[in-house]
Amino acid sequence: MNIYSLILCLDFFFEPFLFEQLPAVDIDAQNVYLSEVERSDVYLGILSKNYGFEDTEGVSLTEREFNKASENHFCCLIFIHTVVVSC
């Protein structure tokens, strides 16, 4: 199952927030992410090898999302996708 199939399945049970589905607007991305995390009941993180760029403080937005969810005592579910390369 690819990630998009998983997201379609989640739509039946949850109201997932996907930043990629927002229209282009003049709003700071970090504020949008963190405000959506604050109004959530569950934080679902699906991570792979790369999960965002570090800001000037050395913290990625993905890490800030997780920290915000943890501070608010949400149910945090983290899945790490690994890629196996055979030679």
What is the pLDDT at residue 3? 64
- The answer to whether residue 39 sits within a structural domain is yes
- The answer to whether residue 61 sits within a structural domain is yes
- The answer to whether residue 78 sits within a structural domain is yes
The pLDDT tens digits of the residues spanning 66-80 come to: 899 888 777 888 888
SS3 string of the chain? CCHHHHHHHHCCCCCCCCHHHCCCCCCCHHHHHHHHHHCCCEEEEEECCCCCCECCCCCEHHHHHHHHHHHCCCEEEEEECCCCCCC
Number of domains in the chain: 1
The domain in which residue 60 lies consists of 28-87
- The answer to whether residue 13 sits within a structural domain is no
- The answer to whether residue 36 sits within a structural domain is yes
- The answer to whether residue 77 sits within a structural domain is yes
Express as a percent the part of the chain with pLDDT over 70. 80
